[in-house]
Chain A
């Protein structure tokens, strides 16, 4: 009897630390943000009362044109970087999936991990140096092919482009590794049979490999969308959201409200709205893209 009871509790005890940690670092901050979003909470004015204000913070956020502009800029960023990361990542994955390239594959896999292992802030610093108009490597390379130096970080469009390029540099390897994992799931005999049936590379990709890639693509879409919606460090170090507000994505704006203006009520309402956007997009991705292999 005692043995049966202890057997019943063993899994609970094993799971408990993870569940407690998840509640502490996941659920508690979320609930705190939710309750804060319904209050006046100016951190830097501790003498002001933290009154319950209902949906006033949400109304203020929804009526704030800067919030919408930052959100629009974030979706533009998403639309620029995600397709490129998927296309280039798929090309790398297909290259590494070729038989007989074991040394190249080992080297490339190793080098693909390097950008992933670099923190966002360091990527921002690298970007600031690479796109420096005086001694940056990007202008140096352009100079070799006869293109005049570009004021990358001093002009709105080029600054946006420079930040996008750094994001693509950092995250394309992640996409490539996820898609490569998907390709390794394709049964070798089916691929062989398709090749023998004289199927072209496109036909094999479309009909044989793509079904195995869809779960990975869905994961990439969800993770990268969430990443871009909270992209802060890279931009703060590289451009601080400028020039003007050219690179002020939504997370940079929320940080500005939360930790410069110290209006935690408004910042929490913005964060909750952003969470809702992320959840809606994730559900859309799963509904539209995700397919189990039949």
Chain B
């Protein structure tokens, strides 16, 4: 790792920008994610910001049990986030599909579709837990090194990526 990459890694630990995606969530986790950015928990003063475009984001925050209609969008959005990237699954739904298990339209859990770095458990998790999860994702982001290795490192060995194209 050269000096420039090391500097970039230090920078990435600070101010992770988020893109939030709802894949059939009940709004509980979404509201708690917003609450973690607002004055009481105030992650925004540490530079954590919600971004409008996945191309501006470092961390992809996914809520919900992954419904059938959302799968293609997850792949598209995951491909659009520039590397190195980290994925935070907020709530019990993306981790285990929660109470919606056995539903015919729910195709979760999330790690069947994209690699997940941090799971924040809870239904819904408290805002401080979400902030902790994002902080952990920022650490992972900093360790991911440069763009080339980031995409390979983020994919588990036994993982088959279903999209044809991963844009970096």
Mutual binders A and B: no
Residues on B lying within 8 angstroms of A by beta carbon are none
The interface of chain A, by Cβ under 8 A from chain B, is none
